[in-house]
Chains A and B, each alone.
Chain A
C-alpha cells in the first residue's frame, strides 16, 4: 500500500515533504489518472503521496496592496466564481475549459502548474498575468516568475523539499484578460492549441500587452515580439497584427491531435481571435 500522508498543518506537511520527498497531491485530478495509466500496463503505484487537502491556508483568493494572492489549492470553480476584475477574465474562461465540471470542482491552479503539461489551460493565462509562484519549504519561502518555474516538458523548478503555497498576480491598471482554446470537441478536451492575453489600455491605445500560447511547445511561451508590436496601437487594430514571425518562440510538435504545421497556423488564427476580442 502506498504511504499516504495527510497532515493538517503546513509545518507538518513541509517536514514530511523534506523528509520523504512525497509527491504533493491537492485535487488529485492529475495523480489519480496517472496511477490508473501506470496500473493499466502492470506498473503499480509505489510513490509516497503528500495530500495537502487538510492543510489550512492554502486556498482562497485575497487582494493585497500589490495584487492578488491565489492560494495553491484554489479550485477552477472557485476562480470562475470569484469576484475578480477583468484582468482575470482569461483565467476565469480557462477555469471553465479545464476538464468537465467535476474536474473544475476539484482541480487546483497550483496542480495545473506543477503538472506542467504543455496543454495545461491555466499556464498561458498565468504567463499573461505575469504571475509569480510562491514556493515554501522548511528553509523558507521564495517567489519566482511562472516562466522560470516551468523548466521543460512536465518539469518545474520545484525543489525536493518545497510545495507551492500560492500564486501572486500583480496589479495592472485598466488591464483585462482573454483566453481562446481549440479542441476537437466541445467539453472534456485537451487543447490542440490555446492563446491567452492580458491587455492594458491607455484610453483606446494599448499600453501593455502580454500574450502567451499553450500546447505549441514543451512549455507555454510568451510572444515578446508580438507584445511589442501591439503597444501603442488602437485596440481595434490589434487583430491584424499577429504574423508568422511572431511565432518564433514556439516549437509545435505533431501528435495524435494535430500536425505541427497546423498548430502554427491555428496559433496565428487563435491570436487574431484573441485580440479581436479586445476590440470595442
Chain B
C-alpha cells in the first residue's frame, strides 16, 4: 500500500508503484480533474502541485508521491477560487481540458509571487499547452487574479453581452467529465493494435489461442464486426474499415482489438500476436500516388484520385494575356495535427435488443450514430450517442474514432467497454489537415484590379476519404480570395496515398489556398508599385458584388470595412518597420497583411439544424440543443440567442445538449455553422414559443415576459396577464428547423454554395533574426466581420485561438507519420509564442443569421499564416512558398543569412 496525501486527505492506495501518479489519482482515487494529454510531460494537462511545486503527475511514479502534499484542481483553496473566477470571467477556459493544469501552474506561481508580470506568468504557464485559447485570456486571468481584480461584470445576458460561458463552472472546478473521465467500474478495456506499416498485407493466425494464452476476453478483428465493416464521411463511400481486412493502407490503421482487464491488455506485446506482415511499397505524398504506374490503393479510385473540384467563370487565358501584371507560384503545406489536448476516449454500454449507448468526445453525435449503427447492423435509433465534454476538436473529432470500435467490443462481450487513445495513437490514427500542393496564377490590370485567377491544387487525403471531397469542393469556391475576380479557373483533386487520412481541420483547405492566393496578391502589388493594403481594398468583395460562383452578395459582406478599420494599424506598422530596418540590423521587422472569406455551413448541400424549446407545467424552461459545444461556446451563444428571442432571462433557461436520444438533430459542429444555422433554429424555436405564449395571454408583440415558478407574467403596455403553467393542459413546446438557403453548384461551380460568408483581414508584425532564420510574431491586428457578435468575449477567444493555430501552421507545425507522433516533436505554440492581438469587430448584419450573426471559428485562422508570410517577405525580401517556415528553411532562402538581405521597401499608402 502507498500512502498518498491529496488535498489534505490521506489515502492508502493499492497501486503499482511505477504507475504514473496521474493514473493513480484518476483510476484509483477517482480524482479525474487531473487530465492526461500525453503521458510524456509534453502537454502539462496533468499538472499538480507536489509540496507546492508544479509537476506533471504523469512523470511521477506513484511511489515517489508518498509523503508529499499533493494538490489537485479539486482542492479547496481561496487563491484557487480567485483563479477559477478570473478564468471564467476572462474566457480562459474554452474546451477546458488544459484548465486544471493551467490553474495548478498559476496557483504555484501566485503562491510564490503575488505580483507577477506578464513574462513571469508566461514562464510559469509555459509547460502547459492549450490548443483553444491562444493563451492571452489565460495570462490575463492570472494577472487579474494576482491583482485581486475581477473584471467588470457585463450588464445583461442577452445578445451582445460578453458573459462568461454557461458551461464554465465545472471546467474550472475540475468536475467536467471528458471522454476518459467516466465509465462503469466493471467496464472492460479495449486497446487497438495498429499497423506499424504504411502499406502492407497481413494474415492472422490463431486468435483464439492467443486470446487464451494472453488472458484476454477477446481479440477482435474484422470478422467480429456484426454489420458493415466500414465507415466514412461521404454518404456513398464508406471506404475505411473498423478493423483492416488483410490490407493496411497507413501506419496507425486498426488491425485488432484487445479486450480484457486493463492490466491484461496493457501487458500484451504486439509482436507476440499472430499477425504475419508482408510489407508493400508505400505511396507517400501526392506525387508518388499520381505517378504513372502507381499502385491503385482503392478499386473505386483509378489514378488514386478520390474526387475532383472545379470552378470556372469567364475566360482566364484571355484575361491573363491582356493583363498589365501577372504572377504565379507553387506552394506546399504540410500535414497539420489538430493536437486537441484530449485524446479520443469514451465507453460503450450495450443494451437489450441490439441497443447500444456510446459516451465519447465528439463533434458530430448524429453522424456518429449513423456510422455506429451501420457497423453494428442495427437501425439508427438503436444507437444512442451521449457526447462527453469535448476536450478540443477543430474538425478532428468529426469523424468517428473510438465509437465503432467500442460498439463492436461491447456487442461481442455484452459488457460495458471503455477505451482511451494514447497520444501517439491519437496522432497516428486520426485525421489531419490536408497537405496541399498548389500552383496558382493571378493577374491584374494597370490600376491594380484583379482580372484573372487560376489554381491547380492537389490535396493529400491519405489512405481514406474522410472529408477529402469537402476540401476539394470548398477550395475552388474560395480560392481566388475575397476579391472581385471576373475570370477564375480553379481545379482541385483529393488524392489517395498511404499517408495518415486527412479530414476536416478548421478551414477545410481554405487556409492552404489562402497562403498561395495572398502571396500572389502581394506579388501583384509589388509589380504595380501598389501598397499591399491598397490593392486589397481596391478589390475587396462588398455588397452587391458577384463571387466567382456567380453568387451576388446581397448583405453582410464587410471586408471593405474590415480593411478600413485596419488602415491606421497598417500605416503605423509600416512606419515602425521602415524606421527600424533603416540601419539594416540583423533582427528585421516586417509587416504583412492578408484577407479571407469563408462560407458558413456545407458547400451547396443541405445542412439543417432543428431546435426544440419547452416550457413545462412545472415552470421549467428547456432548450433541447443538439449542437455539441467543443469549447467554442455554442451552448452559451445559442442560449443567449434563444433567451433573447423568447424574452426571458438566460438564467431561466436550462439546456439539454447533444444527446441523440433527447435532442433533435442540430447537425455537426463544423464549418462555422453552429451560431449561424443552429442559432437561427434556436431563435426561430424561441420565437415560436413566444408566439404561443403571447397568444395564450392575448398580448401584443412587444409584451414583456417574466417567469417565477409556474407563474408566467406577460405584460404589455396596458395590462399584465399571468399564465399559471401548472393549470395548462399540456407543456408548451416549440420546434424549428433551419436549413440555410443554397443553390447546388453546376459543372462549372456556379450556384449559391453558401448562404453567408465570414470576412476578415489581419495585419501582422514579425521580427526575423536573419542570422538564425527564426521568426517571432510580435503583433496581430484583426478586423473580422462577424455579422453580429452574440458574445464578444467568446468571439475574441475564437479569434485568439484561430491566430494561435494559424501561427503554428505558418511557423512550426508539421506532422510526419512515424516521426512526429508526440507533442515534443510535433510543436504547437506555447504561451510564449503568441503575439499581442487587437481586434476590431465589424458587424455587417446577416439577414439570415440570428440577430444578424454568422460564423466566427474558422475565419479567424485563415488569414494568419498568409499575413505572417507577407510580413516575413517584407522583412527579408524572401517569398516563402512552403510552410511551416522552420528556421532552417528560412535561413536557406536567406542565403545563409550573411550578409543580411535587403528588406522590401514600405510603399506609401494611397488614399
Contact = CB atoms under 8 A, between A and B. Distances in A.
Interface of A: 1-2, 4, 6, 25, 27-29, 32-33, 36-37, 39-45, 49, 51, 53, 77, 96, 99-103, 105-106, 182, 184-190, 192, 256-259, 261-263, 265-266, 269-270
B271 interface: yes
B270 interface: yes
A27 B424 CA distance: 23
B270 A43 contact: yes
Nearest to A192: B887
Contacts of B53: 77, 105
Given A33-B824, A258-B888, 15 more contacts: A27-B59, A29-B59, A33-B39, A33-B42, A36-B422, A39-B266, A41-B424, A43-B270, A44-B268, A49-B18, A51-B17, A101-B126, A184-B812, A185-B827, A186-B831
The 3 closest A-B pairs by CB, nearest first: A100-B127, A42-B270, A186-B832
B16 interface: yes
Contacts of A1: 16, 18, 263
A32 B772 contact: no
B17 A4 contact: yes
B684 interface: no
Contact of A266 (B812, B827, B887): B887
A101 B124 contact: yes
B830 A187 contact: yes
Interface in B37-82: 38-42, 44, 47, 50, 53-56, 58-61, 63-64
Contact of B811 (A4, A6, A184): A184
Nearest to A264: B896
Nearest to B124: A101
A263 B126 CA distance: 25
Interface in B799-858: 811-812, 814, 816, 819-822, 824-825, 827, 829-833
B127 A187 contact: yes
A28 B773 contact: no
Interface string B261-277: 00100111111010000
Contact of B64 (A53, A185, A186, A262): A53
B550 interface: no
Given A36-B38, A265-B891, A106 B266 contact: no
| Interface range for B | 35 or more
Contacts of A270: 772
Nearest to A193: B772
Contacts of B56: 29, 102-103, 106
A252 B273 CA distance: 39
Interface in B107-132: 108, 122-124, 126-129
Contacts of B269: 42-44
Contacts of B268: 42, 44
A261 to B, nearest CB: 8
Nearest to B811: A184
Contacts of B816: 256
B124 A262 contact: no
Contact of B886 (A28, A41, A184): A184
* Max chain A Cβ within 10 angstroms of own Cβ: one of B122, B425, B830: B830
Nearest to A103: B41
A266 B891 contact: yes
B782 to A, nearest CB: 22
B404 interface: no
Contact of B129 (A37, A77, A188, A257): A188
B521 interface: no
A122 to B, nearest CB: 16
B61 A4 contact: yes
Given A6-B17, A182-B774, A185-B832, A102 B47 contact: yes
A99 B61 contact: no
